Amino acid sequence: MTAKHHGRHGRPWRRIRAEVLARDPYCTIRGPKCTGWSTTVDHIIPLSVRPDLAHDLTNLRGTCAADNYAGGARITNAKKRTAGRVTRLTW
């Protein structure tokens, strides 16, 4: 299972998502733009790092959309900034 095809669609994911949102009704991140209620499910260890943990309940937490999408964008942008970067050699 790749990060691109990690199975976040279909009945198994809907069941897991409902279970996480029931377990975590309030946002677990509580960032500056937090709305308070969990409406999305966040992967604590990103799927790009560990796609095998896509459905692992210990790697999932309920979050509000604002916090979930802000965190995902931060990780994605950090990866883009460092991709292909050559470090300076000092002698």
Domain that residue 51 falls in: 11-77
Model confidence at 56, in pLDDT bands (50, 70, 90)? Answer: very high
How far apart CA 36 and CA 32 sit, in angstroms, is 11
| Domain-embedded: residue 2 | no
pLDDT of amino acid 9: 74
Burial of 2 (0-12, 13-18, 19+ CB in 10 A): exposed
| Domain-embedded: residue 42 | yes
| Domain-embedded: residue 6 | no
pLDDT digits (tens, 9 = 90+) for 3-36: 445 567 789 999 999 999 999 999 999 888 999 9
pTM for this entry: 0.70
Query: If you compute the radius of gyration of the chain from its CA atoms, what whole number of angstroms results?
Result: 16
Cβ atoms of 49 and 56 closer than 8 Å: no
| Domain-embedded: residue 41 | yes
| Domain-embedded: residue 90 | no
| Domain-embedded: residue 89 | no
| Domain-embedded: residue 3 | no
> How many domains is the chain built from?
1
How far apart CA 69 and CA 67 sit, in angstroms, is 6
| Domain-embedded: residue 84 | no
Residue 42 is which amino acid?
A: D
